[in-house]
Chains A and B, each alone.
Chain A
Amino acid sequence: MFNFAFDNLNSFFYMDGHGIYVWSVFFIVIISTSLMFIFYKNELRKIRKKIIDE
């Protein structure tokens, strides 16, 4: 079950030509989720500052 499915790292990233699809989805998931975290972290910091200033 835990045998690496590829011969080397190059073929892992290339994935027989499917790497472009798999890795683009991977980065979309990571970037979009991270951006939402950053957005809410900033919002929380702003609202906290506003409440403290009041």
Chain B
Amino acid sequence: MYPYILYFSVLFYAFALVWGLGFAPADYVQGNSFRIIYLHVPASFLSQSLYIVMAIAAGIFLIWKVKLAAYMIKSIAPVGALVTFIALISGSIWGIPTWGTWWQWDARITSTLILFIMYLGLISLHSSFTNFEKADKFISVLVLIGFVNIPIIKKSVDWWSTLHQPASITLTNKPSIDPTMLYPLIFSMIGFSGIIVSLIILSSKVHIFKRESHKSWVKRNV
């Protein structure tokens, strides 16, 4: 099923990028550099969302011992690292024309860097275990401990004085961004999310086949 999600999402994302990069008006203050928003925001949104999904999976694994939840954590972590990497790099490049610097040790950027390091740590720690059951438990606990960083990232622009602007789209307030710029942003977020979901489905297949390779149902499916 994942190829269909992937093809549809790629088309959707391509449409959103053509719209955002070519047809949305330039920003009054930032000029055309603002168009990085269509690449940066979907990645930033997913970097935090994927960690939340991992934390939910960690809770499910620790409470109900659902093996699939542990496989989800292992499958999401590399993809989470990828989107966080994209968020950091795109933010740094956007910072050059906007802030005059590619890096600043402010709250939002530093907490996102910590998130990236946490993803990398989870990947390398899981690989360092020989006993997979112990690894799953240990990683699940670590994911839950690391979850404290998510509200810090989210609220960092409100709690501290940072270079990073506050959120343009919130659940409670009217968006502070013009609809001509907002609609392609929403489309790009949906399209990129679809691509990342299909990537997670693919990585889950790899991890499940690796861990369950001795089972007869895997042999039948292969």
Contact = CB atoms under 8 A, between A and B. Distances in A.
Interface of A: 1-6, 12, 15-16, 18-19, 21-22, 24-26, 28-29, 32-33, 36-37, 40-41, 43-44, 47-48, 50-52, 54
Given A22-B36, A25-B39, A47-B209, A36 B78 contact: yes
Nearest to A1: B180
Interface in B15-54: 17, 19, 21-26, 31-33, 35-36, 39-40, 43
B89 A28 contact: yes
Interface stretch (B63-71, B129-137, B151-159, B198-206): B198-206
B78 A15 contact: no
A2 B22 CA distance: 9
B33 A22 contact: yes
A47 B202 CA distance: 13
B79 interface: yes
Interface stretch (B93-101, B108-116, B140-148): B93-101
B39 A3 contact: no
A18 B97 contact: yes
Interface of B: 17, 19, 21-26, 31-33, 35-36, 39-40, 43, 78-79, 82, 85-86, 89-90, 93-94, 96-97, 180, 183, 195, 199, 202-203, 205-206, 209-210, 213, 218-219, 222
B89 A3 contact: no
Nearest to B206: A43
Contacts of A3: 23
A54 B184 CA distance: 49
- Mostly, the B contact residues are helix
Top 10 A-B pairs, shortest CB-CB distance:
A15-B32, A18-B33, A18-B32, A25-B90, A40-B202, A51-B222, A43-B206, A47-B209, A25-B39, A22-B35
B78 to A, nearest CB: 7
A48 B209 contact: yes
Contacts of A22: 21, 32-33, 35-36
A24 B23 contact: no
B90 A29 contact: yes
